[in-house]
Amino acid sequence: MIADATATPTAGARRFPPVTQLAIGSLALVVTGGIVMAGNFPNPPALAIPVVLLVGSAFLWALSLLLLSRHPGFAWGAFFKVARWALVAYVVIAGMIEFAFVHNNASGAPLLVISLMLVIFALDVPLSIGFTVARFQEPAPDPNVPRR
């Protein structure tokens, strides 16, 4: 029997918004912007393209978080348990990259743009990792719903 593509999913299957795809798209934009910025150092880089990429990246990240926050029955406990440790690791990585730019005398608007890109970088990966793990976990029972 051939499955109908329009059929409803089975009772155990849950559909999630495209959080991982949006977070990775955000990561791709911010990494591209960082490469454009780093490719011009030590000369002051043109900021138009990196700022557009930064804004696009921030928009995709915020959209993925908004879609996830509106999804009912998500395993937030598992998400925060995993994302917290990934965030620690990526804050350290972003801090080391930031140090490299500061050590190489980046300052002013270019440093601000690269710093904001590093913030998005440090938030994108934990969101993606935490979501990927938590989507396969059973959500905690709602204490306001009576059990049978």
Per-residue pLDDT tens over the stretch 103-126 = 877 788 888 998 999 999 999 999
The chain-wide mean pLDDT, for the chain, equals 85
Q: State how far the Cα of 83 lies from the Cα of 81, in Å rounded to an integer.
A: 6
Confidence class for position 148, pLDDT limits 50, 70, 90? low
Per-residue DSSP letters for the chain?
A: -PPPTTSPPPTT-----SHHHHHHHHHHHHHHHHHHHHHHTTSPPP-HHHHHHHHHHHHHHHHHHHHHHT-TT--HHHHHHHHHHHHHHHHHHHHHHHHHHHHTT--HHHHHHHHHHHHHHHHHHHHHHHHHHHTTSPPPPPTTSPP-
Tokens at residue 7, please?
């059929």
Q: Which pLDDT does position 1 carry in this prediction?
A: 45
Residue 91 in any domain: the answer is: yes
Q: Which pLDDT does position 146 carry in this prediction?
A: 60
Residue 10 in any domain: the answer is: no
Entry pTM: 0.80
pLDDT of 129 higher than 70: yes
Q: Picking from 17-21, 64-68, 134-138, which range would have the lowest pLDDT averaged per residue? A: 134-138
CB 54 within 8 A of CB 119: no
Once rounded to an integer, what is the mean pLDDT over residues 13-42? 88
Residue 129 in any domain: the answer is: yes
Whole domain around residue 56: which residue ranges?
Answer: 19-134
Residue 6 in any domain: the answer is: no
Residue 28 in any domain: the answer is: yes
Nearest to 97 by CA among 82, 116, 81, 79: 116
Residue 97 in any domain: the answer is: yes
Q: State how far the Cα of 109 lies from the Cα of 19, in Å rounded to an integer.
A: 31
Residue 148 in any domain: the answer is: no
Q: Which pLDDT does position 121 carry in this prediction?
A: 95
What percent of the chain has pLDDT above 70? Answer: 85
Residue 65 in any domain: the answer is: yes
Q: Based on the structure, what is the number of domains in the chain?
A: 1
Q: Which pLDDT does position 11 carry in this prediction?
A: 40
